[in-house]
Structure formats: structure tokens, C-alpha cells
Chains A and B, each alone.
Chain A
């Protein structure tokens, strides 16, 4: 047996040992088949290891270990409330369980929401739950997403049939320090539907969140995720989205602090004229390790994709970006853009980037770039020469660095909220 085969056998044995200890949630009944299938997928590929090609820069050990260290309980007052003054439909999850008492009544024109736990025997999400995740295992395995499909205890199942003005706001709270939380949300946007989805709040001591989003022709999904003040965060997220013709997706994530965060996105532009924008702004210091892993597949002609990821790192923080644009032979006239940049505020911080293009169509426009640098001393001097003190000048330049990513937030009120938060983070770290 080759060394490689031996390693894989050892991995599968270890994974099988882990899986034997797991009990699949009983609810909902309609998902039992999908959960069993996910478990089987996971058993066949095994849990991720540091030697895997897409885990070289981020050690999965803390995400895959059987137990996780408890985190401090997070009080609501530990973080300034987000999106105050923005009318939204709040869905609150406490330690991974939907809490109707803290949530708004689920109602609205053109939108239908149920929770994953307790959604009966028959449900529209049955055809979707686990399917995009399963499809997303090729060409790069995402074992932790399969684990999530098998184990997720709760989540929001959202079907949108019209243009919904009021954003759906998923709010996470951590009441106990030991929770290992898995949430799985499923979104189905019917033709022409339009939804803004917000996510914020600390989840568990360790958490895994999967979103599967199916966007029909002409549907629009605007997703804004905030990973705010949770210094102990260990989190992995997966966004799987399939876009029909002329569908549009914008997903923006702001991460500040946390120990280990990996945000994966797997997007298929499956219909002509679709558009997918993935963006992230991450700021961290100290033990902060932040990883964005994005895979965009152009399957149809005339689609546009954009990846804009910016990281501000200091005091030993590590940033990782792995981004790929795959253009199928049929996807002529693809317009693909990818930029990943880091601003290193000191010499101890590190940025690792792996940009990839794989193109089989001959008439495409694809560009990618990755840079790592410090604050430009010439710009700094120019601002100071106009009377702007050093701290303020630095803050302006950091915000300027993040501007291209922040520009992917469409709603002005949400963008303003992000700006305030960023400014506060920078003010605390002068």
C-alpha cells in the first residue's frame, strides 16, 4: 500500500470512529434521508487534515476535534446592537436553537419561513436540503459542510416568491459556554424574488453554519454577514449558491476578531447573464486567523463574477485567501474579477493567498490580483501635512483600503452601520 493510500485509510478509520459516536437529529422527518446520505459522503471522504491542498494554510484540527474548549458566555450587552433602526424580521437562534419568543412573528408578503427542527414530514426544502452541499463536494471536498448537513439541529427554511423589502435578520446568541452549534439554512428564491438576508451575533463556542441558496431566474439575494465582537470565535461557514439566468447574488462578510474563522463559498453561475459578487472585510489582531475560500464556477455564457477580499492584520494575525474562478467551455463572454489584499499594520502579521484561474472558454475576460502591503508613507504624509493627526490619518487609510469591499454592500443604512463598527474597532486599537 502506498504511503498516500495508507494515510487515506488512517483518515477514513479515524473519521469512521468519530461518526460512530454521532447521533443524527430526529427532526425533521423529511431530512432523515439527506442526513444519512451526508454522513455517508463524509465517511467516504474523511475529515479534513492539514496536508490537504485547501487546508495547508489553515489547520482544521480545532474544527474537527471531537470536543471544543468552552467559550465565555456572551451577554447581549457585550456588543453594541447591530442594525438598530433598520426595520427587519428578526429570527433569533440561541445556542443553535430557534427561539420564537425572542423572534418577530414570521409573516410577510411573498415570504414563507419555517424552522428546520420541527417542520413535519413534507416540506419544499426537502428537494434542496443537502443537494447543493453534495454538489459542492466536487472538485474540492468540503467535509465539514457534509458534517453540518448530517448534524445541523436547526436553521431557517426561507422561500421567497416576491420582492421582500424588509430584510430577514438571523441573530445568533450564545447563552452557554459549551455549545457546539450547527445551523443549516435553506433559501429558495422563486423567479424574480428579491431578499436581503442579514446574519450577526456570536454563535457557539464552535460553530458551523451552512447556507444553501437556490436562486431561480431573475432572483436577487443580498447577503450581509457580520462576525462581530467574539474574541473566542471558532467558526466555519459555507455558502452554496446556484444562480439561474439573470439572477444576482451579493454576499458581504465583515469579520472582526475571533480565533479561527473559515468562510467558504461555492457558487455556480448556471444560467445566462447571472452575476455573483463575493466580498469580505476582515480585521484582526493577535491570535486571529481568518480564511476566505471561494470557488466560483461559470457554467453559462455572459455571467459576471467578482471577488473582493480585504484583510487588515496586526500583532501576529494571519489572513488566508484561496479563490478560484472556473470557467466552463460553454461559458463564453464570462467577466471574472478577483482581488485579495492585505494591509499589514506591523511586521508580525502574515497574509497567504492562493488565487486560481481555470478557463476552458476562449472568449472571456478574467483578471485577478493579490497584494500585501503596509500603509503607504507618502499618503500618510500627505494627510498629516494637511493637519490630520497620525491616528486619524491611519484610520482614514484603513477605511480607504477596505472601501472596495464595503462598496459591495448595497443598502446605505447597512453600509453606514458597518462603517461605524469599523471605526470603533480602529479607535480601540490606536
Chain B
């Protein structure tokens, strides 16, 4: 599904390298988690994949189902099935949530050469999906994310994901700012979307979220690269011992490698 090879990324207007040779392959239907300390480049990875301005890819590649993601505009990436659930969902005063959802859905369908959804069908669809996420009619009517609590914003991200039915979902610290109940609601929403044809990349600081969204593979990221890959037990290790142990091990290995 997603294939990232030796990705190097720097800030566009600053001489600061953030990703330093990151490689990652996610198979269709699997759920990968990326954990790592602050400043390791987790959010940069999600933004670069979604096509945000301000970053420059200096080396490496990223493909989605074999197609070059990095050559596409953000809207093309979305139409090809990439979805980023934002860590900080953006407020857009003056644009109604429903208008936003419908415009996005139909724009993607149009880009893929599919028929647009009628307003009647759209309404039925959005009401059903909103109900599962406990998003009421009032929230749907309001401007995008304006006046939403932290939890409501995250639920709104998952609603968008459910409506747009992407193939590759990236969740950037979706658990931040969520209480236990909201975390459960959001996780249930994500789990309901798990499917043999859909992959997830879950970026998080904490193991907590991974109790709800069980990953197949866990990666530890540090200083712009993936330094450890393992099963769900790796997340538990981080939970118990923090990152310090793993990072120390990685440093020792690197030193040993350099000496050999």
C-alpha cells in the first residue's frame, strides 16, 4: 500500500534536516504505529505525505499503490485515497461542516471519474456515520471545527475519514487532548473502518491509544529515522521504560557498527 524509501526531508526555508533516511512499508489491511519522542519527525512525516507546503524532499521516495505521492498536489493525494487525520484540526469560520464534507466527497469522486453523490443520499450517509460517532445534527450544521471541543474536533476528523473512505489513513496524534470516553469513541470509529483493503499509520506518543487500536507492527522513530521495528510488545516496552533505553541501545549499536 504505502512504500517509503530512504526519505530525506528538510524545512524549505531553513537549513534544517528533519527526516534522515526514513523507510517504511505498509501492506494492505495492516495497521502500523509510529511512536517516538518529541522532535523525532513524526508529524513532519505525516505532513510530507499529505503534501503540506514548507518542506523539501531532498532524497528518497514515497509511493501509494505504486504511484508517486510526492509528485501529486494535496488534493490528488486525497483523491488517490490518502487521508491525514490532523493533530490540530483547522477551524474554518464561514464554511459549514456539511458543505465542507459534501464538497470534499464530490471533489474526490469527480477526480476519480465517479458519479457525484446526490444531496439526499449524502444526507442519509452523513447522518448514519455521524450517529456512530455521537456527532449530533447541531455539530454538523456548525462551521468546520469552530467552537468544537478537542474531542469533538477529533471525532469530526474520524467522521471525515468514514465519509471519504480512504485506503491509507494516517492518524497524527489523534489521542492528544482526548479523555478516556472520547478515546474509546474515536478508536471504535477507527476500528469500524479496519478492512482488508485499508491500511493505517497511527502516530502517537503513548501506548494508551494502541490498547484500543491494536497495531500489527510498531515502529520507534528517533532523529528522523525508524530505529526499531517490532510487534505490539514494543509499545509496551516504551510504556514501561520510556524511550531512553531504546535510544541508548540504538546509539550503542551504531557505535559498534561504526567500529566494525
Contacts and interface: CB of A to CB of B under 8 A. Distances in A.
| Bound together | yes
Interface of A: 377-379, 381-390, 392-393, 396-397, 399-404
Contacts of B103: 388, 392, 396
B53 interface: yes
B84 A387 contact: no
- In this complex, the member of A381, A397, A402, A403 whose beta carbon has the largest number of chain B beta carbons within 10 angstroms is A381
Which of B94, B95, B99, B105 has the largest count of A CB atoms less than 10 A from its CB?
B94
Nearest to A377: B53
A389 B77 CA distance: 11
B53 A381 contact: yes
A385 B100 contact: no
A400 B75 contact: no
A387 B107 contact: yes
Contacts of A400: 92-95, 143
B111 interface: yes
Chain A contact residues: helix, strand, loop or mixed: helix
Contacts of B79: 387
Nearest to B79: A387
A390 B92 contact: no
A381 B143 CA distance: 17
Contacts of A388: 75, 103-104, 107
B108 interface: yes
A385 B74 contact: yes
A399 B143 CA distance: 13
A381 B73 contact: no
A397 B92 contact: yes
Given A381-B90, A386-B160, 16 more contacts: A381-B50, A381-B53, A384-B78, A385-B74, A387-B75, A387-B78, A389-B73, A389-B111, A397-B92, A397-B95, A399-B94, A399-B95, A400-B94, A400-B95, A401-B94, A402-B94
B107 A389 contact: yes
A399 B96 CA distance: 11
Contacts of B84: 385
B75 A384 contact: yes
Interface in B57-103: 73-75, 77-79, 84, 86, 89-90, 92-95, 99-100, 103
Top 6 nearest A-B pairs by Cβ distance? A400-B94, A387-B78, A403-B94, A387-B108, A382-B90, A386-B104
A374 to B, nearest CB: 14
A383 B143 CA distance: 13
Contact of A384 (B51, B95, B164): B51
Contacts of A397: 92, 94-95
Which of B77, B92, B99 has most A Cβ within 10 Å?
B92
A381 B94 contact: no
Contact of A392 (B90, B93, B107): B107
A396 B95 contact: yes
Interface in B85-142: 86, 89-90, 92-95, 99-100, 103-105, 107-108, 111
